[in-house]
Each structure stands twice: as C-alpha cells, then as structure tokens.
Amino acid sequence: MRVRSVPVSADAIGKCTATVVRGVDGHTVLVGAGTELSAGDIEAMMQRGVARVWVRDELFPEFEERSLVPETLREQAKGILRELFASLRESAGKPTSGQARALAACVRTLVDEIEANRDEVANIRPAQRWDDYALEHAVNVAATAILVGRDLGLSRTRLLRLGAGALLHDIGAAALPSRVLQKQGTLSPTEVEMVKQHPRRGWELVHTAFGNVMPSSAIVVLQHHERLDGSGYPAELRGDEIFIYSRIASAADVLDALRSERAHRRRFTPPETLRAMEEEAGSTLEAQVVKLLLRVVALVPEGSIVRLSNGQLAKVMVHNPGAPLQPVVTVVGSALDQPLPHRLQNLKHSGVRVEQICEEWPRALLERSRPRPLEGQHVAPLR
C-alpha cells in the first residue's frame, strides 16, 4: 500500500491529519477519532477518489477488528453481485460467462476461508450502510450459512452449493423498483405482494441466466422465505417440504436482517435479536440451525462499543461460546459517561450483559478522557 496526505480544510479538522490509503478496493481515509468533518470536506475527499471513511477508535487506537470475511473478499463478492444485479435489471440482461466464473470462484474462496478459520465464535459484521444493504447482506448470509453448514458436517461440495444459493438468495430483488426497496415506512398491500414475488422471480432468473447453477443452489433462492409453520412465501411450504439448504439460509437471513439497520426500521439490540431468534426456533425456523447459529456467530461483533446492563461503557474484546450477550470486554466508562481505569472483565456468569451497541464513544467520555493541553499550547492548522 502507498500512503499519502490529503489536504483538508483547517477549520474543519484543526487537530488531526487525514491520510488516504490506496488499497485493492480503492481509496480509504483514516481519520482520528474526535475529528469533525464538514460536508464540503467529505465531498472534497470523494472528488479525490476516496471510497470510504474509517474512524480510528481514540480510546483503543491499537485495536484491530478481525472478521470471518476479509475486507478484500467482501469487496470482491459485492463487486460481482453489483455487476450481476445491473445485468439482470436490463430487459434482456444475462450475466457473461466471466461473471458466472467469477461468482463460482468467489464462493470457493469464501468456503476456503471459513474452512480454514476454526474460531469458536465468528465475527461477522452487520451491514454498515442501508443504501448498500443488499450486497452486504448477501455476503453475510452466504458466510453465515456456510459456517453453519460446515459445523453441521456438510461436505465441501455441498458447502459450495449452499454458499452459491445463499449468495444469490435475494437476486430476485434486482427486478423490484428502487422505490419499494428503499421505501421508508410501511409498504402498501400492492408493494407487499411485489416483495413476496422476489423469491420466485429470483429462481426464474437463476434458471434462465445461469445454465450451470445446481438445482440445490437455485432452490435456496426460491425457498429462503418459507417457514416451518407454513407462514412463509411464495408456496407456504411446511417442515421437511423446505430443503435443508433453504432452512439454513433462511435462519442466516433472519439473523443478519435483525442485526442490521434497514431503510424502514432501526436495527434490533442484541437482547432483542437473541429473544427474536429464540422465539422463532422450532416454530418458523429450524431449531437445530438456530441453536448452532447463536453459538457460532457473534451477536455483538468484536470491537463493538457497547452499553452494558449496569450502564457502563465497554469495548468487546473476545466472544464467549454459549454466552452471546456476555463476551469479554474492557470497561472504560461509568453509567454517567465518566472515564474509568481500563479494566478487562469476563461477563460470563457475572449477571451483566450487553444491552446496546453504540455507534461511537459518547462525546462527554472522550472529552473527559482526553488530556487537557498546557496553558498557551495550540494545535497548528493543516497546511
């Protein structure tokens, strides 16, 4: 990688230096936590080719978040799906042979990555941006489904077929109008019916556009919204009428949807997510799959800033298998956002659990934690 400085207006930052990192997925800006950027600064960065902005955690600058899906692979998968969605939106759209090969290679790499990663609890971040939700969600569902399938003992060949179906599971949404996909609030009855047709439409697209996709992969696209009690769609199938790959993918689909911010609702808190999944287990979702899912996938991603049930603020460090809301954390702040000496605490069996994931540290905590400058000192503006 090459690193170079980016000029940013002094009145907006004044105390931090921004850098652009040229990576495989384009330009990235790393900005010190506590920095304030105006809309003009962000626009100037975008004009220079900056793809996204990452904010370093000021209280834990050395912390490196791990993920089951490496960033380069995530971006590769999203790029392939983005091209496929664009092709299928055209009236006579059909993916090229190169796109189909790229998709197959991406699934193989994803399976290889997951088979090589034997951590007891996997770190899979929820979708970060609602406008990029469909692509982030597809990658998460595929990774989660492969992980569960691996631990259920599926062979590599079956994991490849499950992964391909899970990665393509929402491809029928490519045919839905953007006004429906991005609508804020409740859908009309007509719009609901349109949404309910996307599994069947996706199944048709897979069959016509991908001549070499295995039927067991295509069936995931068709059945991922079916439910054990017959309340799903499009065919209201029940129990074993739903293929096992579809039952795995549907549980992965529900979990990631609950954890993610959506255009029409906020994301569920970790306790709400856990309660919702446990309520669905055995009624609408396969109980064995849900049980395994909650054991091997982190409800609270490693590196998350969290508010605990006792009100304290902490950073998630390590997951505890079988205790999805009680990871090992570093406590840094009180319930009143007063800084505390950093203290590593294992929440398992403590009676304390994670209540909420925070987007960032409260400003009051940062201000109280930051050393005060000596009299007469000032921060030199960027040149």
The alpha carbon of residue 269 and the mean position of all alpha carbons in its chain are separated, in whole angstroms, by 14
Where residue 285 sits, what CATH number does that domain have? 1.10.3210.10
Least confident of 2-16, 110-124, 188-202, 297-311: 2-16
220 phi and psi angles, rounded to 5 deg: -65, -40
Residue 382 lies in a domain: no
Domain extent at residue 339: 305-369
Domain boundary among 296, 317, 345: 296
Same domain assignment for residues 149 and 279: yes
Same domain assignment for residues 117 and 236: yes
Query: What six digits make up the tokens of 335?
Result: 């319930």
Same domain assignment for residues 145 and 34: no
Same domain assignment for residues 174 and 100: yes
Domain boundary among 250, 271, 296: 296
Tens digits of residue pLDDT in 158-213: 999 999 999 999 988 877 766 666 666 677 787 778 888 889 988 988 877 666 66
Tens digits of residue pLDDT in 224-241: 999 999 999 999 999 999
Same domain assignment for residues 93 and 43: no
Same domain assignment for residues 89 and 178: yes
Residue 121 lies in a domain: yes
Residue 383 lies in a domain: no
Residue 63 lies in a domain: no
What's this model's pTM, rounded to 2 decimal places?
0.82
Same domain assignment for residues 32 and 128: no
Residue 377 lies in a domain: no
- Provide the pLDDT for residue 258: 93
Same domain assignment for residues 124 and 261: yes
d(CA 115, CA 150): 7
Tokens 């006579």 belong to 92
Query: What six digits make up the tokens of 118?
Result: 């034997």
Same domain assignment for residues 94 and 120: yes
- Provide the pLDDT for residue 378: 40
- Provide the pLDDT for residue 343: 94
CA angle 155, 159, 161 (to 5 degrees): 120
Same domain assignment for residues 278 and 165: yes
CB atoms within 10 A of CB 349: 9
Same domain assignment for residues 263 and 127: yes
Residue 61 lies in a domain: no
Query: What six digits make up the tokens of 100?
Result: 């189909």
Residue 107 lies in a domain: yes
User: CA nearest 161: which of 247, 220, 80, 77?
Assistant: 220
Domain boundary among 296, 327, 359: 296
Number of domain units in the chain: 3
Same domain assignment for residues 120 and 42: no
- Provide the pLDDT for residue 190: 79
Residue 117 lies in a domain: yes
